[in-house]
Amino acid sequence: MGQGGAIYVPAGFGHAIKNTGDDDLEIVQTWDNGKFEEIDLDKWLRSSRNYLLSNNFAGVPASTISKMKET
């Protein structure tokens, strides 16, 4: 994504933001329910159903997803 780009993340889909450039990253976030929620990745992995993790980690073997949930 470049300068001025936009992305929509549906509710329930894990996501992360990483600045790969040299300049400061500015982001504007909006929510449709007015509630901000921050969830640690390890907590999200352990609490999510396997089908949701499979959707977010396309191509990752089920055995790897199971191991990720154990740590």
Q: What residue segments make up the domains of the chain, in order of their start? A: 41-70
* 27: nearest Cα among 37, 16, 35: 16
> Both tokens of residue 54?
């499979």
Q: Check residues 32 and 24 and name the one with the higher pLDDT.
A: 24
* Structure confidence at residue 69 (pLDDT): 80
Given a contact cutoff of 8 angstroms between Cβ atoms, the answer to whether 27 and 17 are in contact is yes
28-69 confidence digits (pLDDT tens)? 777 776 677 777 888 888 888 888 888 888 898 989 988 888
Q: Check residues 59 and 14 and name the one with the higher pLDDT.
A: 59
* Structure confidence at residue 71 (pLDDT): 64
* Structure confidence at residue 30 (pLDDT): 75
* Structure confidence at residue 45 (pLDDT): 85
Given a contact cutoff of 8 angstroms between Cβ atoms, the answer to whether 54 and 65 are in contact is yes
